[in-house]
Chain A
Amino acid sequence: MKRLGYLLGKDMRLLKRTPTIVILLALYPALVAVLVGLAVGRPPTKPRVAIVNQVPENKRDIRIGGKKFDLDKLTKALYENVDGYNVKDPAAALEEVKSGDAVAAVIIPEDIVEQLESSSSQGTIEAIFDSTDPTRKAYVENTIKGLLVDTNNELTNRFTDVSLDYINIIVNGGEITFGGETRNIEGLANGADLIKDVLPYVPAQQRKDLQEFAALSEGAKQGANFAKSLLRRVGQPIKLQNKPVGTNSSLSSLAVAVAVAVSAMFVALLLGAGMLAYEQEDQMLTRLLRGLAPRSTIVIEKTLLAGICALIVGTVMVLAFGAFVDIRWERAFLWWPAIIVASISFGAAGVMVGAASGDVRAASLASFMIGLPLTAAALVPKGAVSDGLYSVLQVINSIFPFKPSLDFLRAGLSPGFDALWPGIHLAILILAYCLIASFAIKRRVA
């Protein structure tokens, strides 16, 4: 135990005398904490969209079925869904998109009112966006689709109201304007009664035809009533009712868990691998192994060294996150042990890599090559890939400590998650990594 302390003290001193590593170890998590904190602590800003409204201000009334709508009220949703601002003409709009000041530009053509009033054509507005970057293109296309949803809904409601008015007049009667001429019509309901009244006075030969027409009117009346209820539903045929299952975890707690796990992983993995490889590189390992410190002591010492450094980094990160997001401080009894166990598990994984690598450069490279893809693998949600690939990822996630560490941290930061199994899982991994590292050292010096 004393020898472990001497070696730990020596390594702490070595680290202290390697300012570049210490600065990186301090700066890296601080940078990650600030970036993630800013990302999760502030609501996302609306995308800027330049809007050209070419319709003259005195011609923005839309008349459909004798009703008048204000175009500006309809396009209000355009401005609300995004950070919309007016520009004077399409050339200026194009310039805004090219310069990157706007993610897109929307041009409302001069004849949009006529298009909407027409019973034979759809209204069309034009969108301009930069398609050079495929990721940005997809984002902008989704934004434009989204911003038209509310406007289209508003128009659908207005069209439905007009159609319902017409149907109402057809069924119940009333005044209708057609071709600039206003007429009063009886409606199907009154028409059927009228036919019944005149039926006894009609010659028997035509009575049958009139009876059929009366039946047809009755059918049309019922059909019109059904059409009314149908039209009411046209605007929103399917209504979504959300029923979430499972734990209700906040996005911020997930972001904190990911940031802490990623930072602790890289610090511990690189330190564990690098410090053990450093002992081998300078042949110090052979000096120590000749009875001064057994393999188990060296493996445990390096694991603890890497784990302690990662623990400091992880703890500082959670404290820093407290400035941006709500941290459940009363759950520190769980999230702090989670950081401890996760840090030690990453440290043990690093020591295993270092024992197998032999020199510092190979160990560092191997740590990155292992750490990066396995972190990404742990963050792939079920359903995002095929079942077969997901099963493979699950196996990989079970032999690398990132996923169980993430699960343990989430259990600490949010209630409702299981903490026991990730803890046991990590303990098993720590033991396995230490045994493999010890065996690798034996093979290397044999």
Chain B
Amino acid sequence: MPVLEGRDLVKRYDERAALDHVSFVVEAGESVAIAGPNGAGKTTLLSMLAGVTTPDSGSVELPGGKLGWVPQKAAVYQKLTVRENLELFARLEKVDDVFGSATRMMDRIELAHRASDRAEDLSGGMRQRLSIGMGLIADPAVLLLDEPSAALDPLQRERLWELLGSLADSGIGIVFSTHSAGEVEGHADRVIILDGGKLLYDGAPADIGPGAHFELAFINFLRARRAHVNVGGDAE
């Protein structure tokens, strides 16, 4: 069952096309990675799907219900406690049972024992889990995450992916942007590859093309496409 549909999305900044007629669908319980070199349009696409920026043309549909959004940095109020952060967003999301929702969410993100601690006193991984909890507080059908593991150490990263895996298993659609080929290979059911605002690939990571592993296959894929189409931008 689709929980998120992007239809023919276009966004231009002056003459530059940040997104050029991008369309895709995310199913319930599916984990979709958005990959591509710097300036490919990943953050623009996620911001547009989240409703932060509006497309010049095209539309975003949410047939499955609400959408949760987790920005790139661990976006939490540092001076508020774990519970206060969750309760504030529960109120803003107009959740009926504010206290109960916050309590359940703290259990889910494994921060119940730090409920009264301020976010500034948490580790980076805990803050990221809190940020995800704030995105999940209204029980969304799909969760968008902009480079969720960027500032985490390997152990925290592993714990994060365990959490996101359990969310996908519970039927929530997960859409995340990443620079890591390992995360695409290890945690995504599908990968959407963008370059110069264009959608170049939408399919299983394993099907991208020849290569001993995904990273090599990804680079080969980008080189091959750029040889045919002049899309600009430098792959890293």
Interface size class of B (residues with CB under 8 A): 20 to 34
Given A283-B72, A287-B71, A290-B69, A10 and B52 touching (CB < 8 A)? no
Is A329 on the interface with B (CB-CB < 8 A)? Answer: no
B101 → chain A closest CB, angstroms:
15
Q: Give the residues from 90 to 115 in chain B that come closer than 8 angstroms, CB to CB, to chain A.
A: 91-93
Q: Give the residues from 51 to 96 in chain B that come closer than 8 angstroms, CB to CB, to chain A.
A: 51-53, 69, 71-73, 75-80, 84, 88-89, 91-93
* Number of A-B pairs, beta carbon distance below 8 Å: 59
**Are B88 and A10 neighbours in the complex by a CB distance under 8 Å?**
yes
B211 → chain A closest CB, angstroms:
35
- Enumerate chain A residues within 8 angstroms of B73, measured Cβ to Cβ: 282-283
Given A282-B73, A283-B71, A290 and B92 touching (CB < 8 A)? no
Is A288 on the interface with B (CB-CB < 8 A)? Answer: yes
- Enumerate chain A residues within 8 angstroms of B80, measured Cβ to Cβ: 10, 13-14
Is A445 on the interface with B (CB-CB < 8 A)? Answer: yes
Q: With A and B bound together, what is the CA distance between A10 and B51 in angstroms?
A: 23
Is A369 on the interface with B (CB-CB < 8 A)? Answer: no
What 7 pairs between A and B have smallest CB-CB spacing?
A283-B75, A283-B71, A290-B51, A292-B92, A17-B79, A290-B50, A14-B79
Is B142 on the interface with A (CB-CB < 8 A)? Answer: no
Is B26 on the interface with A (CB-CB < 8 A)? Answer: no
Between-chain CB contacts (< 8 Å), 24 pairs: A3-B92, A6-B92, A10-B88, A13-B79, A14-B79, A14-B80, A282-B76, A282-B78, A283-B75, A284-B76, A284-B77, A286-B47, A286-B52, A286-B71, A287-B71, A287-B89, A288-B92, A290-B51, A290-B52, A290-B69, A291-B51, A292-B89, A293-B92, A445-B53
| Bitwise interface map of A from 279 to 311 toward B, beta carbon under 8 Å scored 1, else 0 | 000111011111111000000000000000000
Query: Is chain B's binding surface mostly helix, strand, loop or mixed?
Result: loop
- Enumerate chain B residues within 8 angstroms of A2, measured Cβ to Cβ: 91
Query: Is chain A's binding surface mostly helix, strand, loop or mixed?
Result: helix
Is B199 on the interface with A (CB-CB < 8 A)? Answer: no
- Enumerate chain B residues within 8 angstroms of A184, measured Cβ to Cβ: none
Q: With A and B bound together, what is the CA distance between A257 and B227 in angstroms?
A: 71
- Enumerate chain B residues within 8 angstroms of A6, measured Cβ to Cβ: 88, 91-92
Contacts beyond the supplied A287-B134, A445-B53: 5 A-B pairs with Cβ under 8 Å: A6-B92, A13-B79, A283-B71, A290-B51, A293-B92
Is A18 on the interface with B (CB-CB < 8 A)? Answer: yes
**Are B88 and A446 neighbours in the complex by a CB distance under 8 Å?**
no
Q: Give the residues from 1 to 28 in chain A that come closer than 8 angstroms, CB to CB, to chain B.
A: 2-3, 6-7, 10, 13-14, 17-18
- Enumerate chain A residues within 8 angstroms of B84, measured Cβ to Cβ: 10, 13
